[in-house]
Structures are given as C-alpha cells and as structure tokens.
C-alpha cells in the first residue's frame, strides 16, 4: 500500500527536522521533501506545533521500545540493560555520522521556550526515561549488583542529563568522545562497575533516547 500524504509528511518531516532543526525546517521545506501538494500540511496538521508534537510522539514510541528491550528487560541483568541502553545510543550516533543528535534533546534546545505544549511533552518524556532508569537501578540493588544506599533517583537524573549533554556535544564536535567520557563517569566512577565498560555482547537495538 502506498503511503498517504500524511505519512509522507511525517516520515520526510522527521528527516528534515533532524537535519535542520525544528526552527530551521519550514513547512515549505517539509512539503517539498515529502513531495506532496502545498495544502497537504494544513489538511493534516492544524499548526507546526501540532506537527512537532506528533513527531515527538513517534520518536518517543521508539524510545519506549528501546526501554522495554534494555532497561525494562527482565531477562537481562539490570546493569547490563543500562549498559545496552547507553551503547545503543552510541551505536545510533555512530551509524548516523553524529549528525542528528536526539530529537527530544533538539526540541528542548529549540522549541520548549516557544511552545508550552511541546515543553510539557518533553517533561513527560524525560520523566518517563528517568523513572525507567531508576527502576532498573532498584532492580540492581535487589539483585545485589549495587549497594543498598545507591541514590537511584539522583543517578537516574544524572544519566538523562549527562546522556543528553553527551549526545549534543557529539553532534556538535562530530566525535564519540563526549559519550565515551559519559560512559566512563557513569560506570567506572558513579556506579563503580568498570567491568561494565566492556562492550555488551549484543547492542543491535536502534536507540531514540
């Protein structure tokens, strides 16, 4: 079945917004990339904000799949799940030539000040990721992989902010060094598990942090 104009706008719009940013991608740019009539955008989206919110929803749906496969995977050791979550983000950055960063992080920098709805959506996204990481760390405590006094919520907040910062710098500097430094601080210094710095056996999941 051929994709509808709406599907074309969303798929090509995602690519254009990742490449140019939310502010830098005009509706005209999106329509031209999708190859659809000029009026198609307004037929399917009441505003650019509504379009951006839908992109965030699509992007975060993939994040949830990643979380389920790594942080929430009961068949993985919890810290191995965290290791694979970070490694999958690193693999995506490498595969994309370190050009796109993270859509949620990009929107945080560009659009959150101009749209209360986008700002609210981003807060909900990052809160869900933090809660998933904290849950993973608590599982690690229950299994004896971390000390009982591990500050799970604090570390989860650090992982979200540190990973987002590392992804942003990786995009700007076109090198994986920022995310590699983040990995070292997280696993060797914060969790005191330098053994987890070794690459996991499998990290094939596409990541959308």
Write down the pLDDT at residue 196: 87
Mean pLDDT of the chain: 90
The dihedral of CA 168, 174, 178, 184: what is its sign?
positive
- Per residue in 69-124, pLDDT tens? 999 999 999 999 999 999 999 999 998 888 888 999 989 988 767 789 999 999 99
Residue 209 has pLDDT above 60, yes or no: no
pTM: 0.88
Q: What are the residues whose beta carbons fall under 8 Å from the beta carbon of 186, sequence distance 6 or more?
A: 86, 158, 159, 162
- Per residue in 17-29, pLDDT tens? 998 888 888 999 9
> pLDDT band at 198, cuts 50/70/90?
low
Write down the pLDDT at residue 168: 92
Residue 2 has pLDDT above 90, yes or no: no
> pLDDT band at 203, cuts 50/70/90?
very low
Average pLDDT of span 175-204 = 82
Dist. CA 167–CA 89, nearest whole Å: 8
Write down the pLDDT at residue 134: 98
Q: Is residue 170 within 8 Å of residue 93, measured between CB atoms?
A: yes
DSSP 43: H
Average pLDDT of span 56-61 = 94
Dist. CA 118–CA 128, nearest whole Å: 15
The 3-class secondary structure across 89-137, one letter per residue, is HHHHHHHCCCCCCCHHHHHHHHCCCCCHHHHHHHHHHHHHHHHHHHHHH
Write down the pLDDT at residue 200: 46
Inter-CA distances, 208 with 64, 119, 126, Å: 9, 18, 12
């Amino acid at each position: 079945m051929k994709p509808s104009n709406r599907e074309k706008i969303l798929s090509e719009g995602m690519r254009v917004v990742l490449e140019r940013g939310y502010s830098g991608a005009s509706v005209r740019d999106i329509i031209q990339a999708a190859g659809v009539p000029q009026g198609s955008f307004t037929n399917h989206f009441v505003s650019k904000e509504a379009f951006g919110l839908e992109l965030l929803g699509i992007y975060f749906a993939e994040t949830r799949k990643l979380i389920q496969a790594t942080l929430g995977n009961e068949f993985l050791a919890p810290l191995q799940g965290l290791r694979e979550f970070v490694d999958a983000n690193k693999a995506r950055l490498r595969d994309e030539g370190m050009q796109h960063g993270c859509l949620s992080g990009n929107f945080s920098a560009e659009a959150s000040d101009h749209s209360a709805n986008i700002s609210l959506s981003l807060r909900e996204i990052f809160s869900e990721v933090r809660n998933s990481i904290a849950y993973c760390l608590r599982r690690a405590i229950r299994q004896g992989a971390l000390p009982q006094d591990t500050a799970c919520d604090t570390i989860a907040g650090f992982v979200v902010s540190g990973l987002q910062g590392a992804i942003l710098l990786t995009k700007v500097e076109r090198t994986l060094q920022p995310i590699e430094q983040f990995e070292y601080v997280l696993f060797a210094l914060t969790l005191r598990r330098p053994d987890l710095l070794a690459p996991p056996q499998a990290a094939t999941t596409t990541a959308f942090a």
